[in-house]
Chains A and B, each alone.
Chain A
Amino acid sequence: MSEIALEVRNIVKRFPGVLANDHVNFVLRKGEVHALLGENGAGKTTLMNIIYGLYRPDEGEIYVDGQKVTIDSPHDAIRLGIGMVHQHFMLVPVFTVAENLILGAEPTKGWSLDLKAAREAVRRLSAQYGLEVEPDAVVEDLPVGVQQRVEILKALYREAKILVLDEPTAVLTPQEVEELFVIMRQLTQRGVSIIFITHKLKEVLAIADHITVMRRGKVVGTTTPAETDEAGLAAMMVGRQVVLQVEKTPAKPGEVVLEVENLEVEDERGLPAVDGVSFEVREGEILGIAGVQGNGQTELVEAITGLRHIRNGHIRLGGQEAPERAPRYLIEHGMGHIPEDRQKHGLVLSYTIADNLVLCTYYQPPFARGLQRNQAAIVENAERLVNQFDVRTPSIFTTAGSLSGGNQQKVIVAREFSRPLKLLVANQPTRGLDVGSIEYIHKRIIQMRDQGVAVLLVSAELDEIMSLADRIAVMYRGKIVAVVEAGQVSKEELGLLMAGSGIEKARAG
């Protein structure tokens, strides 16, 4: 028995045009939580997919328990005691917990599934590791935190000794994160070794025994929470000093720009998603909408930006009800939108950057001359904005689809901010971006506010809401459960509000 659970040596993985893993070395000790930290695209997930047999490395070796192994498929990984909880859960939504648990390794009685044994297994493992779940519950009805437990149980059912958690906290409330950390501690005490992938610095410092930082496919270094701090880790991740704290002056709210009154909106299935929401956003202030994903924020933003029918209520822009809630009307009246899904709603991926930069204005002079496009003006516009907003691209004629996430977002920000705005609606503006790009986009949003633009910021990242917003509205199950002044509320209180308790209860408890 060695002290080392898993070791990878000199792993190289190439994708067309990218060196995703460049001679990566990594050592996981038994019973530790080892954080793997890095920006998006640093190669963390690639490395884990190699360990879990989803990708094959081009070079390098993997050792489990001191033995050299080859892992060609998840099957091999499972056999070697490696379990993985993916960022996007790998659960069959219409199956029960028990069915999900046994899938692929089913207990049988004769030719039949032994569902009784499956339920037993759920109960046994639940009790053993303190992970409470109901075996007969259908997974799609469970909250995400519980679904995550099912994922962990799945790995434990396959007797995983090494557990890879890929961005496990991205979908959780702060309280659920705490619970997860407790579970992780319990698991390590029972000899499970955990690889914890994340880009959140605070979490790493809170839970990890060792921290390995990756940047652009390479391991930058390994450290411990005792030896470093947030700023140090951020610098390792990005390769330069990063300002983590957003600097801003107090807001100077002016006239009401956006007024939402008793808004009701339905989701795709015709169920109420936004249920009687009222609020207003003034010039020169940022209203943050906090909430766990899927509590109606998407539908709210789509209603405000004219992308979804409203069932009831009013939305007024500059005191005027839009005569027809067409996106073009709203855009021409000074609304800017940074959509939640930048690839689906923010950009036309197969268009060039230059064309994407005039998506809202292509039909107006100077970009149009009668029925024709004015290519010279479009090019001039693109060159100016790419410079001004620091979009890293080989050319303005590169397609938007080939840019990195951070640069795609910069193109959207450049397009929206280049028009005269009265209202900016930003939905998850920094999701999936690296620390450097986040810093940049935050600075730009504050700049807009200081120029007198009303900003509606929707984010599931509490840190983002708390550092940017002047007022915070918490959304839970389609309703706004509280509106609080930023700076007068703690993260814990917000977390409780996001989980549905009222403000008094949150303050009390």
Chain B
Amino acid sequence: MNKPASFANWKLFWKRWGVGLSVAGVIIAAIAYYYARSPQATEAVLASTLRQSVPLVLGALCGLLGERAAVINIGIEGQMLMAAFVGFLVNVYTGNLLLGVLAGIAVGALLGLLLAFMSVTLKIDQIIGGTVINILAIGLTGYFYKVGLSGHGKLNAIPLGPLAKIPLLGPVLFNNPPITYTAIILVFVVHYVLFYTPWGLRTRAVGEHPRAADTLGINVYLVRYVNVVVGGALAGLAGAYLSLEAVGSFERLMTNGRGFVALAVMIFGKWTPLGSWGAALLFGFASAIQTQLQFGGKVNIPPQFIGMLPYLLTIIVLAGFVGRARPPAADGIPYEKEG
């Protein structure tokens, strides 16, 4: 290749990746700076960032699977809460953590099925369908929860051999409990499915122009059902993370709005898995730094205000820093077959 051409390639490369690379550079520089000053605190904040991001990214994947197929799911919060509760109960009565996790996933998927039934088959307004699930979950978990139940342990970190011994990277990336690893893998799996497989192409077509998909022999209803149910399973996994991995027990309303923040994460991530992961890490960082600030004791701000940080970020993001993201064209619109 001659010189001007390669120069042009550079320009193109920079245009495409420049912003991303600059941001990455700043982040790496900042981490290096703080690591040099206080290795332990930096490790703690980063590890906490990753873990705080887990329910958010799983929730966002749930939301975007649905919305890519044109079903808006605002019941993520309820799906998480119910899954956290049932997963915890199963653990209490069987003493088996894996069974608890599977139960959580199953409950999430079942609520996904309920949402799909309401919004795809019955064609109920999707916001109302999601709200039904949220209220249902709050009501049922609140009614059946008994104070004093105690679970049998929680999912512990699994260090990945020598990888876990790398300074900084080891403790942050390679010494995590199983659902955290799974969430990271799922980000890439969903990305692959959505953009590189026939199923993904069909899902996106159903979200953009369902009638076109229908005329090509694609079963619009089936695609929506499967995506919403699989999404529900992911939200269920997020719930299991909260009760069985992060805390090890259940509290009333323990999801604390994460299902809604996950929707903000999804929008900030422009309905893409990788974008959502980035956004989830940002929100996770806001939560992590909040803990650090509260317990570091160096800053003199009332903890209530520090606790607002993630939610403030949500408002700021939704209020207009999203850029020109375009939701799927048919998002939220029930599909009516002709004839």
Contacts and interface: CB of A to CB of B under 8 A. Distances in A.
Contacts of A99: 201
Interface string A71-106: 001110010000010100111111100010011111
B5 to A, nearest CB: 20
A104 B338 contact: no
A12 to B, nearest CB: 14
A112 B217 contact: no
Interface residues of B, number: 22
A55 B214 contact: no
Contacts of A244: none
Nearest to B217: A75
B201 A54 contact: no
Given A90-B216, A93-B209, A106-B201, A54 B339 contact: yes
Given A86-B215, A92-B209, A106 B338 contact: no
Given A78-B217, A84-B215, A111-B197, A103 B202 contact: yes
Contact of A55 (B196, B200, B339): B339
Nearest to B193: A111
B218 interface: yes
A112 B214 contact: no
B204 A90 contact: no
A49 B337 CA distance: 12
Contacts of A90: 209, 211-212, 215-216
Contact of A108 (B198, B202, B211, B339): B198
Interface string B194-238: 001110111011001101111111100000000000000000000
Interface in A132-171: 154
Contact of B198 (A54, A91, A93, A106): A106
B201 A113 contact: yes
B338 A55 contact: yes
A89 B212 CA distance: 8
Interface string A106-118: 1010011100000
A476 interface: no
A314 interface: no
Contact of A74 (B196, B202, B216, B329): B216
A182 B339 CA distance: 34
A144 to B, nearest CB: 15
A200 interface: no
Majority secondary structure of chain A interface residues (helix, strand, loop or mixed): loop
Contact of B208 (A74, A86, A95): A95
Interface in B174-201: 196-198, 200-201
A74 B197 contact: no
B47 to A, nearest CB: 33
Majority secondary structure of chain B interface residues (helix, strand, loop or mixed): helix
A55 B326 CA distance: 33
A417 interface: no
A103 B338 contact: no
Nearest to B338: A54
B202 A104 contact: yes
A113 B197 contact: yes
Contacts of A333: none
A91 B214 contact: no
B216 A105 contact: yes
Contacts of A49: 338-339
A423 to B, nearest CB: 37
Contacts of B216: 74, 78, 90, 103-105, 154
Contact of B329 (A93, A103, A104, A112): A93
A392 interface: no
A196 interface: no
Contacts of B200: 113
Nearest to A102: B201
Nearest to B218: A104
B69 to A, nearest CB: 13
A489 B56 CA distance: 65
Nearest to B198: A106
In the complex, which of the residues A89, A92, A93 has the most CB atoms of chain B within 10 Å of its own CB atom? A92
Interface in B46-67: none
A105 B213 CA distance: 11
Contacts of A185: none
A99 B212 CA distance: 13
A86 B338 CA distance: 14
Contact of B205 (A84, A86, A103): A103
B196 A112 contact: yes
26 contacts: A52-B215, A55-B338, A56-B339, A74-B215, A74-B217, A78-B217, A86-B215, A90-B211, A90-B212, A90-B215, A92-B204, A92-B205, A92-B208, A92-B209, A92-B212, A93-B208, A93-B329, A94-B208, A94-B326, A95-B204, A102-B201, A103-B202, A104-B217, A108-B197, A113-B200, A154-B216
Q: Which are the 5 A-B pairs with shortest beta-carbon distances?
A: A104-B216, A75-B217, A55-B339, A90-B212, A106-B198
Interface of A: 49, 52, 54-56, 73-75, 78, 84, 86, 89-95, 99, 102-106, 108, 111-113, 154
Given A74-B214, A94-B208, A105-B216, 18 more contacts: A54-B339, A73-B217, A75-B217, A78-B216, A86-B215, A91-B209, A92-B204, A93-B209, A95-B208, A102-B201, A103-B212, A103-B213, A103-B216, A104-B202, A104-B213, A104-B217, A106-B201, A112-B196
